Structure 1
Amino acid sequence: MAVAEGANENLNPNETKGKIITCKAAVAYGPGKPLVVEHVLVDPPQKMEVRIKILYTSICHTDLSAWQGKNEAQHAYPRILGHEASGIVESVGEGVCDMKEGDFVVPIFNGECGDCGYCKCEQTNKCERFGVDGMKKVMVNDGATRFSTVDGKPIYHFLNTSTFTEYTVVDSACVVKIHFDGDGDLNPYIKKLTLLSCGVSTGVGAAWNIANVHSASTVAVFGLGAVGLAVAEGARARGASKIIGVDINPDKFIKGRAMGITDFINPVDEEKPVYERIREITDGGVHYSFECAGNLNVLRDAFLSAHEGWGLTVLLGIHPSPEMLPIHPMELFTGRRIVGSVFGGFKGKTQLPHFAQKCMHGVVKLDDFITHELPFEEINKAFDLLVAGKSLRSLLHF
């Protein structure tokens, strides 16, 4: 495996292994407050943990929601957010056998221990101990953090990963080693593979693993952020005949067209419900609809846009509201189905490496998802771009 030139030029495990590292991180001190880029202390990894030198990290809407404090479970400060990244293993804790210092890896928020009943079940990608958990803010080993301020105060973790930092410590169940098959060079893909930590895997996986979109099928995607566009890209790769994008931002269609979207519907411009419009142009409804907006009204439109008898709606949007599903039980007797999807149905450690190979071989196009590249110190600007709807993924580098 070839590692990007210069990627680990400042990484010398002989000098840092087993020691506390002082490095830069963007620390959240309260909901909506600008992140503070400052020096923090990062402890060595303990048993079955990995310390990673982050090369690139990007910002997802889940990070945005956490920063805004929309979910009470995320009210733990100070905290290091972030869950999309790529990096190099700096050191490993006792018992870690599937990776070593210098390996190229991506952290994942939905881990895979490989030993629990969930991991051994082929019907789920949930892990009993390391599955996605918005409540979790400390490490599994000892209930403590691996981050602290320079004066010794603890800094909490986020979504099993905490990637807005030059170094992070992650449970090994939440770290995936990536390599290029054969004699290929990994260098051209280092930054792009950052997107596999969440957005692209979540969207493409929903199309492939959860819906199993088939050739010549029809698809509707509600919400054209990075996840929604990843769904469209996954549907395009599977040969869908019609991919309808639904969003109130008309600028999204420009980017969406490159990712396979064939039709665009802006609800603001429609005189009738969106689901009626979709039924009209798809002879009764789509085979697959995907709700990526985290909005209950949008979810109902997505459900009703699916064809009676066989239509499937896949829920990807995060819904922090306590409101329940806007579906009457009797409506399920029409044959429409609805299912949720976490991390695109991928079992991270066993299946993500294969997906990475497909991306590196061009089956899935990653380049169009990266709209901005910024130095890490400009992380607040990257958040502003996301809030303004001007970015899909802003890639931050150290």
Structure 2
Amino acid sequence: MSSGGVIRCKAAVAWAAGEALVIEEVELSPPQPMEIRIKVVCTSLCRSDLTAWLSQAQPQIFPRIFGHEASGIVESVGEGVTEFETGDHVLTLFTGECMSCTHCASDKSNMCQVLGLERQGLMHSDKQTRFSINGNPVYHYCAVSSFSEYTIVHSGCAVKISSIAPLDKICLLSCGVAAGLGAAWKVANISQGSTVVIFGLGTVGLSVAQGAKMRGASRVIGVDTNPEKSEGAKGFGVTEYLNPNEHDEPIQQVINRITDGGADYAFECVGDTGMVTTALQSCCSGWGLTVSLGVPKNKAEIAVHYGLLLSGRTLTGSLFGGWKPKSHLPSLVDMYLRKEIKIDEYITHNLQFEDINKAFELMIQGKCLRCVIHMPTN
């Protein structure tokens, strides 16, 4: 099938850390072998986009097109692609699945060795960019870059989904909602009647809560410094809300006291390595499990007293909830279509592409869960 020619389209380009995105005309090359070009229909802002946009880490990768949580329609395919054809509905994947490496062949991992998380702003296959402005490169984010009318991904970084799934809702399964559900079900394997504590009640944390509730957890304690989140969290399964600013003692002491020794499971969904230690201290001895999901904003090292681990507590990480994205996401889409899982309820704002900077403002202010950005239809 033809891979088409160069496309000129609009994209929201970040020129420097923390500076407002600028809608620019960019050139997008044809898909290379084993790549597909996608017309983005809807994309949402994930906190990891915000974290990377604000980051002062070196080296800084700009100009850049952020976005990775998206749905769209295949516009053209590159040489060797047989899995997709023009018109297919797809979700983008910030971490892919090649189906053949050691990790993809194992049921113990979703960390693809070929198409795993790409951090350098380049494509997996040739370490080049596909976007440019006046011949100068514009870098990718997570090898997706969905804040653009069109984008290119490796065919292993997209999954075909049912054409009846609403693209303006289902895009949230590209990252946040799937990550939280998987952390609860696959990584922690929450047991019925257990006590769960969740640090951070954003989309990921509330997805953990939804997953915990569906697994029959008896107590789901939500911890967040934003009091506006307390009431809405109940709709996702949170049974108790704690605001650390409202207590005179460290929050881990509060949790240990009200749970008679600590929770069975703790989830860090903030992106704060200090909070990882707090979460571990909030778990019970013997079998307490802490799962870290957040992307750190600055300090990346975790400091943990060995005694916490010696006493039987476990600390583990979770990328995309442990899901093998191409293998498992279609079943989550089916669950949504059968009304078995919530997605719509996480969408607090629908914005047009030209208003994309408002999404960043709302997230910084803590006034949204997910802002879905609708791309131009023409």
> TM-score category by the smaller chain?
over 0.9
- Distance in 1 of aligned mates of 2:33 and 2:149: 21
Q: Report the alpha carbon displacement of residue 19 of structure 1 after superposing the two structures with TM.
A: 1.0
TM-score, scaled relative to structure 1: 0.91
Instruction: Please tell me whether residue 122 in structure 1 is matched to residue 73 in structure 2.
Output: no
Q: Determine the structure 2 residue equivalent to 1:230.
A: 207
Q: Determine the structure 2 residue equivalent to 1:137.
A: 121
Percent of aligned pairs with the same amino acid: 47
Match of 2:198 among 214, 221, 229: 221
Instruction: Please tell me whether residue 81 in structure 1 is matched to residue 66 in structure 2.
Output: yes
* Residue type of the alignment partner of 1:370: I
Q: Determine the structure 2 residue equivalent to 1:7.
A: none
* Residue type of the alignment partner of 2:146: T
Q: Determine the structure 1 residue equivalent to 2:50.
A: 64
Q: Report the alpha carbon displacement of residue 329 of structure 1 after superposing the two structures with TM.
A: 1.9
Q: How does 1:1-398 map to 2 (within 5 A)?
A: 17-72=3-58, 75-134=60-119, 136-149=120-133, 151-179=134-162, 185-186=164-165, 189-322=166-299, 324-398=301-375
Q: Report the alpha carbon displacement of residue 142 of structure 1 after superposing the two structures with TM.
A: 2.5
- Distance in 1 of aligned mates of 2:56 and 2:109: 28
- Distance in 2 of aligned mates of 1:298 and 1:76: 28
- Distance in 1 of aligned mates of 2:91 and 2:141: 15
* Residue type of the alignment partner of 1:23: C
TM-score, scaled relative to structure 2: 0.96
Q: Secondary structure at the match of 1:191?
A: helix
| Shift >6 Å, 4+ stretches | none
- Distance in 1 of aligned mates of 2:284 and 2:126: 50
Q: Report the alpha carbon displacement of residue 320 of structure 1 after superposing the two structures with TM.
A: 4.5
Q: Is this contact kept in 1: 2:201–2:223, CA < 8 A? A: yes
Q: Secondary structure at the match of 1:219?
A: strand
Structure 1 stretch 320-329 or stretch 83-92: which is displaced more? 320-329
Structure 2, unaligned runs of 5 or more? none
Deviations 1:265-292 (A, max 9, x none): 0000111221221122223211110001
- Distance in 2 of aligned mates of 1:234 and 1:71: 34
Q: Is this contact kept in 2: 1:249–1:266, CA < 8 A? A: yes
Structure 1, unaligned runs of 5 or more? 1-12
Q: Is this contact kept in 2: 1:130–1:160, CA < 8 A? A: no
- Distance in 2 of aligned mates of 1:237 and 1:173: 30
- Distance in 2 of aligned mates of 1:234 and 1:140: 32
Deviations 1:202-237 (A, max 9, x none): 111100110011222111000111111111111112
Q: Determine the structure 2 residue equivalent to 1:5.
A: none
Q: Report the alpha carbon displacement of residue 319 of structure 1 after superposing the two structures with TM.
A: 2.0
Q: Secondary structure at the match of 1:72?
A: coil
Q: Secondary structure at the match of 1:275?
A: helix
Q: Is this contact kept in 2: 1:71–1:320, CA < 8 A? A: no
Q: Is this contact kept in 1: 2:144–2:152, CA < 8 A? A: yes
Q: Secondary structure at the match of 1:380?
A: helix
- Distance in 2 of aligned mates of 1:143 and 1:301: 39
